[in-house]
Amino acid sequence: MHLYKYILIFLSFSVMAVEGVTCGLSTGYPPYQYVENGVPHGIDAEIIKLYNLKFDTDIGITQNNWDALVSSFYFRGEPVCLMGMEITEKRDQRFAFSEVLYYRESVLFVLSSSKISSFTDLKDKVISGDKDSRLDNFLKAHEEFDIRLKYFQTKEKAFQNLISGKVSGVIAPLRVGKYLLKNKSSYSIIRAGETMKSPVAVAFKKGDKRIEEMNRNIKTLITDESFKKIINP
């Protein structure tokens, strides 16, 4: 009888570990996270759908601009998790991260007509930053570049300012910039090396035990062919 109760408790915990969880997604970070006609879209939204299908869970999605999501998550614990957050040293001190899902490369986009070919060409110029990204932190740490950083609520606004000439460059994940600049303007990409590739995972509040079940599932998920097609279409 005691063994039967123990099994029931264990099974109940396993189901509740990720059941009823709502995960936050940005509204303006395509192709990873965005909204279209009120419906969540993007790579990270597809990963959540596949996760729910494969593990018979019901993880919900809530969307807002990224800064508002992070603030609510950090101070109020809502939503329960943030999907697709890049792991950095600073964030690792604040949050608990799941197993790595994939990697994003952080680069600098400039217009081809700008004649900017290296970071040294950015002296005294204003560029759009990407908070807590590896390239953003790299440029801040190198004062010799003397770059002024400006931040926008969405990457779409950042690239609109690049096209209009209000900023000289935009720091963004490679696939985000390519998506937003497609058929809009001729651009060049400036890289800072392999170290700018950031691991991406699901962020939870530290001490949240629900991450344990998700980690076990993610280890299986990332070997699934459907998952591989989502992140590498």
Q: How many structural domains does the chain have?
A: 2
8, 99: one domain: yes
142, 165: one domain: yes
92, 171: one domain: no
pTM for this predicted structure? 0.85
Contact 199, 99 (CB under 8 A): no
pLDDT at 8: 35
Question: Which portions of the chain are predicted below pLDDT 50?
Answer: 1-17
Q: 212: which 2 tokens?
A: 């344990």
The whole domain housing 72 covers 2-103+199-231
Q: What percent of the chain has pLDDT over 90?
A: 76
91, 165: one domain: no
Contact 216, 14 (CB under 8 A): no
pLDDT at 195: 77
99, 206: one domain: yes
Q: Nearest Cα to 231, choosing from 44, 33, 84?
A: 44
Q: Give the chain's mean pLDDT.
A: 90
Preceding amide of 31 cis, omega within 30 = yes
